[in-house]
Amino acid sequence: MDPRLSICLPVYNQSALLEWNLNNLIQCPLKDTEIVVQDNCSTENIEGLVLSFNDSRIRYNRNPENLGHDRSIIQAFRNSRSKFAFLLRTSDTVYPEKIEEIIRFTDKNPQVGYCRFSCKDENGRMRLKFPDRTYPKGKEAAQAAGSLWMHPSGELYNLSCFTEDDWDCFDQYMVQEFSHPYRFVVDTMMRMKLSTVADLATGSAVIWQYTYTVNRKDQAETGSKDRKCVYAPEYLYDRYRCEMHYVLREIDSEDKGILIDNLIGQYSKAAVFTFKYLNRNKAMQNHYRYEEIPFSSREELKRFREVTSGLAEEAEEPYRSQILRKLSGIGEPVLVKWYMERLGQAACSRIRKIGSN
């Protein structure tokens, strides 16, 4: 009999964190769950650690080579036996007493393709708080796909909404669009796909623990080996192109335009402001092993406009015109307004104009 829920843990080394996580998850008394440990060709003995638990609910799979984080997520989902899978990074976990609540949610909402639940941090402080809400597939789900907080952890997926062709397609994009392993896009692509075929949802129940990255003293295994920030523009634009190519080529929906607008809005903010913060953040520098580089928001806005114009040239009508229309509204006043709304009045002391370094 197939399990009712798969908890998927793509891992690369970090065996101490994995041991902590598994010790927590096996406290759940339910036998109809599985924990899928997808080992991305670790140099540490992950298999030995898993076997030491002697718990039949923990299933170990090892990639034949290091596939990168995104492709390892795909493999974890392919190896899951349940209809619903809960994705976690190694440093995050599910409260074991809440696993039954996740299953009750899936029983009551079999049509939901994706759900993001509320969570606390490692100190018990509320980290993310969402309402109990369903976004019906189509327009509302497409809008939610771009506005829901994005991170490949703490996400519930309905795997029955995907076909083997979908998994192959995602995997091909990971191979064809990137010359490096710092992809971090497959969860967004999956969510965009789901918005066209299923409802998306959020839940107020506090289900999982999201460890606060800036408080961590360890170093991320996904950090760049050459001391470059994995969120730097040179990597960011590869992700932007990949996601836009996926929407333009693979999404067949009347709400495709919403997904395109979402991407332009998200990546303009990420390129111009979010990296500005990350570039200077000492805790993030330590965790992801990178060094600050010279950066100008004004110059980056120009670069973003050039990249987006290039993507418009690749698109067919009416999406070419739509991209150019959306881009025409992406300027300094719009992004500064977004920045101020996000950070509040405290932002006034941090930025006088978009071009300040």
Per-residue pLDDT of the chain (357 residues; tens, 9 = 90+): 789 999 999 999 999 999 999 999 999 998 999 999 999 999 999 999 999 999 999 999 999 999 999 999 999 999 999 999 999 999 999 999 999 999 999 999 999 999 999 999 999 999 999 999 999 999 999 999 988 888 899 999 999 999 999 999 999 999 999 999 999 999 999 999 999 999 999 999 999 999 976 555 555 656 556 778 888 998 999 999 999 999 999 999 999 999 999 999 999 989 988 888 888 888 888 878 888 899 988 899 999 999 999 999 999 999 999 999 999 988 766 666 666 665 554 444 444 444 444
Residue 64, preceding peptide bond in cis (omega within 30° of 0):
no
Could you confirm whether domain 5-215 is CATH 3.90.550.10? yes
User: In the chain, which residue ranges form alpha helices assigned H by DSSP?
Assistant: 15-25, 46-53, 69-78, 99-108, 139-147, 164-176, 186-197, 233-250, 256-269, 275-280, 282-288, 297-314, 319-328, 332-343
Q: Are strands 155-158 and 84-87 parallel, antiparallel or unpaired?
A: antiparallel
Instruction: For residue 230, give the 3-state DSSP assignment.
Output: coil
pTM to 2 decimals? 0.91
- Which part of the chain is CATH 3.90.550.10? 5-215
- Summarised one tens digit per residue, pLDDT across range 192-217 is 999 999 999 999 999 999 997 655 55
Cα(280)–Cα(289) distance, integer angstroms? 13
CB 288 within 8 A of CB 230: yes
For the stretch 253-296, pLDDT in tens is: 999 999 999 999 999 989 988 888 888 888 888 878 888 899 98
